[in-house]
Amino acid sequence: MTKKSALALSLALAAAVPVALTLASPAAHAQAANPHFPEPAGVLSLSSQASADVPQDIIHITLFYEQQAKDPGSLTAQLNQRADAALSQAKGVSGVTAHTGAFSVYPSTDRDGKISAWRGRTEVALESRDFAAASKLAGQLSNLMQVANVEFSLSPEAQRTAEQKLTTEAIKSFRARADEAAKAFGYSSYTIRDVNVGSGRNVQPYPRMMAMAAAPMDSAKMSAPIAVEGGKATVSVTVNGSVQMK
């Protein structure tokens, strides 16, 4: 063999070695990943879900008052006085809780960038399960504060009650699906390997009242209850897992 032929043979062998290693790599990795525990036969993964629309049983009404003054000190005093008056009146209403909300004071500038006045806003939040009482109170407080928005939510107690019922339904559906699938695959029964139960809530759009510009009103209109109607929240329970068909 000439030196030229030997060199060509060496280069060919060197190029072939990496290719052989690359082709063997996936099989070696697969064997190392799970050498002693092969995937069992007859394992079925499935899931089931049960859901229901539950009326939202808590109303949240946000009231606000805005004012302007020459200095931040007097403005803060005016805002606090208005919020305190609303809170004092709200405390006398049974079944409705009231607390302070957002509070802000900021400068208003002229064309030259100088502070010409100070503007401020204070909020009071009402919360109740009695929609009628809360809406009536909001109407009575309209001479002190305006309605910014109305929101509804589902109480933890109502959600738990719905979830308990839905969990039973979802588990029953899971077992029924597992039984049907096992028989369809030619098995007579099954045992549960693992199972997880989870819940969720999807709030449907709710009516919202945005604040409108204040207009003169007589005392009868100011004390009239605001019109409200709660929405619904979709509560769902999901059961997923795997079974061993046998």
- What integer pLDDT is reported at residue 39 of this predicted model? 62
Is 223 domain-assigned?
no
Is 34 domain-assigned?
no
Half-sphere exposure of 53 (CA within 13 A, CB side): 5
Task: Give me the number of domains the chain comprises.
Answer: 2
- What integer pLDDT is reported at residue 83 of this predicted model? 98
CATH number at residue 90: 3.30.70.2970
Residue ranges of alpha helices (H) inside the chain are: 3-33, 72-90, 131-140, 156-184, 219-222
If asked whether residues 48 and 85 sit together in one domain, one would say no
Tokens read off for 80: 């606090």
pLDDT tens digit sequence for 90-114: 999 999 999 999 999 999 999 989 9
pTM of the model: 0.71
DSSP helix/strand/coil, 57: coil
66 contacts: CB under 8 Å, gap ≥ 6: 119, 120, 121
- What integer pLDDT is reported at residue 5 of this predicted model? 46
If asked whether residues 115 and 101 sit together in one domain, one would say yes
- What integer pLDDT is reported at residue 38 of this predicted model? 64
Residues of the chain with pLDDT under 70: 1-39, 203-224
User: Do residues 200 and 238 touch, judged by C-beta distance below 8 A?
Assistant: yes
- What integer pLDDT is reported at residue 223 of this predicted model? 61
**What is the extent of the structural domain holding 164?**
43-53+158-201+238-245
If asked whether residues 164 and 115 sit together in one domain, one would say no
- What integer pLDDT is reported at residue 40 of this predicted model? 79
Is 17 domain-assigned?
no
